[in-house]
Structure 1
Amino acid sequence: MVGVCGLADQPAAADYAMTFLDPVTPFAVDNAYYAQLMSNRSLLQVDQEAATHAATAGYVAYYAANPDAFLQRFSEVMAKLGTVGVLEGDAGEVRTVCTKYNTS
């Protein structure tokens, strides 16, 4: 991560650093992310904890071992997400920098 985000004393560079959370198959919809969690190779500690937390470890193991089940559930969730209402007019905010709230 230091190679991507830089050092703590260089915060400006870290504001715009980007990397794939799934560096194995970054442009594919697959279960590689879960396999990486099972191999203790997550980029983010919070994601890695999903592999060991009692509430989520079973899901991680299941989707890591069952690519077809992952794709089925992913498609169901994406279809459901498509029904979420979109904010219109003044109800929301389009960020000028996606990692920061607009100041005015």
Structure 2
Amino acid sequence: MKTEFDAGEMNRLIRAVARGLDLDPTEITPESRFAEDLLADSFDMAMILAEVDEAFGTAIPSEEAEVIRTVGDLAAEVRAYPASRRKARPVRWSSGSTH
């Protein structure tokens, strides 16, 4: 299993973080600290994890957000929760009607 992100993967991760925070990707580096540098709160971290899960097909548990301090830490989490370990979730369908 690969443990390090290559430049393309890191760029993809940075773009996902930028989407989650509505920032310009050029403002983000692997060393960027979420709280101190990017001013991300817990809601922002949830948005970031959703973007990363979508971009990489992962399922990083929300409680992991508490230990993720930098973009580099997030890259390690992507490696720790690959798509192959993703738990199946039941699909809930709604027609929108109240009948």
**Normalised TM-score (structure 1):** 0.32
By percentage of residues, which structure has more helix?
2
RCO higher in 1 or 2 (8 Å CA, sep ≥ 6)?
2
Task: Please say which structure displays the higher CA radius of gyration.
Answer: 1
**Normalised TM-score (structure 2):** 0.33
